[in-house]
Amino acid sequence: MCGITACIGTADSVDPLMSGLKRLEYRGYDSAGLAVKGQDGLSLTKRVGEVSELASAVEQDSLDGTFGIGHTRWATHGGVTNENAHPHTDESGNIAVVHNGIIGNFQSLRTELEANGHVFSSETDTEVVPHLIEESLRDGATPEEAFRSAVGRLSGTYALAAIIGDEDAIFATRSGSPLVLGIGDGEYFLASDVPAFIPYTDRVVYLHDGDFVVTTRDGYTISDAAGRPVDRSVETVDWDPETATKGGYEHFMYKEIHEQPGALRRTIHGRLNPLSGGVELEEFPSGTFADVRQIHLVAMGTSHHAGMYAASLLSALDIPAFPFMAGEYAVTVPPVTPGTLVIAVSQSGETADTLDAVRRARAAGAKTLALTNVVGSSITRECDDELLIRAGPEIGVAATKTFSSQVTALTLLAERIVEDVTGTASTDAAEIIDALSRLPGDVQEILDTSTSRDVAAEYQDSDAYFFIGRGVAHPVALEGALKFKEISYEHAEGFAASELKHGPLALVTPFTPVFAIFTGKEDEATLSNVKEVQARGAPVIAVTSDRDGEIAEFADHVLSIPETHPDVAGILANVQLQLVAYHAAKLLDRPIDKPRNLAKCVTVE
């Protein structure tokens, strides 16, 4: 949930470190810091607040170093203070460490170290690491031996990078938290995510759990916990550096909403066959899913809503499918019977709850498939198969283009599973393929014509906001409410439309606008619910392609979507709701890309 960056081999490490921290700020923005090594030894600066606070401090008191490490924090152990900010050092100030994850046994280690005379200056779990390294150095270990010894005593999840003594090297490892090596021209980078160093190199090595890497100006070595060399392939990332910047937009979220047509084109590219009306997924040979009898979709947050959407599609096609919050799945694993396929949905591929759910599913005998946005992520290595959504980097904490791409990829996968299980395409396959092929253009039409800004302004002073829908519109309602609440801080709730009369209707007042999502299925029933809330005086905003019909007649406002297949309409409706949330938050002057208490990649449970 924090961001690590490191570099070595550059003439001045401060600029690439600061650049990396700014690009990783979506992973945490409670505090930030960096440590660099130069002719005058190790220099350390850290500040509470966003990376801009650290940048100001560095400008006022310049640092100089040819290699270093940096960190942007989302607090887990200890409050948001300068003392708790990373990097953390030993008492001598010769060892600096940055850490992402949670060290489960830090308290017992701290007690032991304090008994040996070590003095701690923070409340964090991380600070035990430099003290453990210091202890080993005192016993005569080399810096690499001391680093390995310290790591060997840790339990929990971690990605670590360290500068140790006079050694001109950066030592790093990972276990359960992401860490990527970037290979430049005579310079090397380490980071929690590729965008941190994408302006400097597009050549990366995705490190595996248990890998130890030592980088120097002359190169790098990767080995396992026992010190045996391991071979990891060098891959080329096809991300343009511009994709990790705002590109003229005021916020990353708004930029990424507008990137959805391009992201969706990448998601469907080469996967649709309009002539046959079928789906072509080269990752899966024909018959891959022939033995599937039931599907569990495990995910958290926005990805869970995408899983709910897919479960609705699959169930309508007579494939038993059940969405689970991964955190709950890990508590009580549902029955895994022969033919169970567990699909793990995760934007980052590093979500701790989802990874744990996958491990439990595999232990129970299920076949697993990862649906993610990140090549080489942990979840792709944990699962038997993978399907990439190809959305490109997403920096805004509130997921937008990745949700659209997840749902689109899951729609393709659902059609393919049905074809393998039944031996024939679904009844509506050709129509769905056609709708998906038109999807990028349909989204662009919404972006060009949406009246969401006016709707947000009209209802700016409301008491609460409700979102309702049926079928695939239900998870879209949940996602619409989630986007609204997480960036506007206003009270928003999503419901199945049928649930209204079973309790939530008691909360409906003239100051509770209701966003009703219509997809072309169960519209008559949803319209009945609209009439119920209107009878209580609530304003209704209909998200529909029925611009001039009965739905529009009963709505106070219409957010229009193009005509499309009902299974795809929810994706278009979601774009309108993303825009409503964005404009509402902007009117309230919220920190849209950095909502309070949240970070992009949840690598702790």
Geometric angle at alpha carbon 408, from 403 and 412, rounded to 5°: 145
Contacting residues for 535 by C-beta, under 8 A, at least 6 apart: none
C-alpha distance from residue 86 to each of 54, 62, 73, 486, 596 (Å) = 12, 18, 7, 26, 20
Which two tokens mark 526?
A: 């949803």
Nearest-angstrom CA–CA distance, 100 and 207: 15
What lies within 8 Å, CB to CB, of 209 at 6+ separation is 174, 175, 176, 378
- Pair 190, 170: CB distance under 8 Å: yes
DSSP 3-state of 297 = strand
Three-state secondary structure readout of 474-502: HHHHHHHHHHHHHHHCCCEEEEEHHHHHH
Token code pair at residue 325: 């919050």
Is the separation of the CB atoms in 419 and 425 below 8 Å?
A: yes
**Torsion sign across C-alpha atoms 195, 200, 206, 207:** negative
Angle at which helices 429-449 and 260-268 pack, to 10 degrees?
160
What b/e sequence results for 454-478 when a residue is b if at least 16 CB atoms lie within 10 Å of its CB, and e otherwise? Answer: ebbeebeebebbbbbbbbbbbbbbb
Q: CA 416, CA 551: separation in Å to the nearest integer?
A: 34
Could you list the active site residues? 2, 600
